[in-house]
Amino acid sequence: MSYQTELPTGDQVVQELPWRWRVQGKIFLIGGLGFMFDAWDVTLNGYLIPLLSDHWDLTPGEAAWVATSNLIGMAIGAFAWGSIADIIGRKRAFTLTLLIFSIFTVLGAFSPDFIWFCVFRFMAGVGLGGCIPVDYALVGEFTPRKHRGRVLTAMDAWWPIGAALCGVVSALLMTAFGDWRYLMLVMVLPALLVFWVRRSVPESPLFLVQKGRQAEAEAVINDLVKRTGATPTPWRLPSPEETPKLSIGSVSGQLTALWRFDWRITLAAWGLFLSILLVYYGALTWMPQILVQAGYEQSVAFLTTAGMTAVGFFGVVAAALLVERVGRKWILAVSGPLSAVALVIFALTVELPAVATAWLLLFGFLIQVAIPVLYTYVSELYPTELRASGFGWASTVSRVGAGLVPLIFGSLLWPVLGLPLTFAATGLLVLLAVLWMARNAPETRGIALNQVKPLTTSDSV
C-alpha cells in the first residue's frame, strides 16, 4: 500500500513526458488556431467602426457599440466557458465555442439593422470568449512541465498573426468589394475547419484525473506515454472525486473558491488582466479611427494598424525566449508599463506620421511581450480544479473593462482629455497592477501544476 502511494500520479507523469510535435505539438497548433480567430474577431471591431459609421450614419457613441457588444459577449463567454470547462471537460467546451461563434458571425453579416447587428455580435462574442481560457487550460495540461512556459507563451504568437491578417484582408476586401459584410464572412470558413479538426483532440488527462474518471484517464495517459516514446513506468490514479453538476450554484461556488484559495493572488490576476488588456483593447479598437481622423487614408490606416499588430509576433518570440530565463513577474513588470509609455508618445506625435508609426510599432512589440507572459502566468497561479475558471474569471474582468472602453473612450475620455492623457490614465492602472503583483503574487517559473498552493504570510514579499 505504501508503495502505491509513493508512485507518481497520472497527471505528474503527463507533465514529465518528452515534447513531441506530433503529440503535444498537434494540440498546440489546433488550440492556437482558435486563438487566432479570437484575435481576428476582436481586431475586426476596429475596422468595422468607421465602416458601419458610414453605412448606418452612426454617431461616435453609437459606433462604440460595435466593439462594446462583442467584448461584453466575450466577457460573459470567458466567465461561462471557463467555469463550464472545469465541469464538463476541456474537449467538449473546446469544440462548442467556435461553433457558436461561427453561427452568429454569419447571422451578423446579414443583419437588417444596427440593433440586430449588435445582438449577433454579442452572441458571437459569447462563443469566442471561451476560446482563450479553454485553450490555455487544455494546452497547458498536455504540455510537459519544463516546456510549459515557452509553449503557453508561444500560444500568443497566434494573436498577432490573426490580428495582422484581419487588417490586410479587410483592406483588400474593402478595395475589391467595398462591402463590410465580406469582412465578417471570410473568417467563418477557416473557423469551421478548426471546429472539424478539434474533434481529434483528447480530453485533458489532468481533468480526467481530477474528476476520478479512471478508465478514460488511464487510456489517455498510456496513449500519451506510448506516442511520445517515453519509458513506461508505474503510476497511480488519485481516489475518484465526485463530479459536480452544472448549476448556478457550482459556477458561483468556483468564484468563491478562487478568492478563498488566495485573495491576494486572485486580485493580482484580475488587476493585471484588467489593466494590460485595457491598454491593448483601447488602442486596437480605436486605432483605425484615430489614424483616419489624423489624416491617414482609410486603406493606410487599416494597414498601419495591421503593422502594429503584426510586429507583435516578434514580441511573442522575445517573450518565449525570455519567459523561462527571466521569469514571469520581471517581464510583466517591465513590458507592461513601457508599452503604455510608448502609446502615450505615439499620441503626442500622431501628427508626424513617420515618428508616430515608429512609436506605434514599438507599442505593438512591447504589449505582445507582456500579454503572452500574462496568460502563461495567470494560468499557472491556480490548481487544476480552479485553473480554467481562474483564468476565465480574470479574462472576464478584462473583457468587461475592455467592453466599456469603446463607450468611455469615444464619448468622454478622447474628446475631453485628448489622446495623450487618455492613454496615460490607462498606463497608470498598469503600473498599480504591477506593483501589487510584485508584492502579493508568487513567481511560477518551473513549478509543477499539481503543486500550486496559496501564499503564506512569509511569501508576501
Reduced to 3 states, what is the DSSP secondary structure of residue 335? Answer: helix
Top-ranked range on mean pLDDT: pick from 55-69, 238-252, 373-387, 446-460? 55-69
Contact call for residues 273 and 396 (beta carbons, < 8 A): no
Tell me the three cell numbers of residue 143.
504540455
Q: What DSSP state is assigned to residue 110?
A: T
Least Cα distance to 319 among 303, 330, 308 occurs for 330
pLDDT of residue 249: 43
**pLDDT score recorded for residue 251:** 54
- pLDDT at position 168: 93
Using the predicted structure, report yes or no on whether residue 103 has a pLDDT greater than 50.
yes
Q: Is the pTM value of this prediction over 0.85?
A: no
* Predicted local distance difference test score (pLDDT) of residue 252: 60
How large is the average pLDDT for residues 56-64? 86
What CA–CA distance (Å, rounded) separates 85 from 133? 9
Contacts of 32 (CB under 8 A, 6+ apart): 135, 139, 155, 157, 158
| pLDDT (mean) for 382-406 | 77
Q: How many residues are recorded in the chain?
A: 461
Q: Is the pLDDT of residue 95 over 90?
A: no
Short-list 382, 374, 388, CA closest to 316: 374
Out of 9-13, 122-126, 215-219, 357-361, pick the least confident.
9-13
Share of the chain above pLDDT 70, in %: 89
pLDDT at residue 453, rounded to an integer: 66
> What is the rounded distance in angstroms from the CA atom of residue 461 to the CA atom of residue 444?
14
Identify the weakest region by mean pLDDT among 35-44, 114-123, 367-376: 35-44
pLDDT 10s digits, 303-335? 999 999 999 999 989 998 898 888 899 999 999
| Segment 170-182, tens digit of pLDDT | 999 998 998 999 9
Instruction: Choose between 435 and 34: higher pLDDT.
Output: 435
- Lowest-confidence range among 68-72, 88-92, 291-295? 88-92
2-443 belongs to which CATH class? mainly alpha
Question: Lowest mean pLDDT: which of 113-117, 344-348, 371-375?
Answer: 371-375
DSSP 50-71: HHHHHHTT--HHHHHHHHHHHH
In this prediction, residue 460 carries a pLDDT of 47
Among candidate residues 20, 140, 47, the one with its CA nearest the CA of residue 90: 140
Q: What is the mean pLDDT of residues 231-252?
A: 58
Instruction: Quote the pLDDT of residue 2.
Output: 45
Q: What is the pLDDT of residue 413?
A: 76
Whole-number pLDDT of residue 461:
43
- In this model, does residue 275 exceed pLDDT 50? yes
Distance (Å, rounded) from C-alpha 393 to C-alpha 60?
Answer: 30
| H and E: helices and strands count for the chain | 22, 0
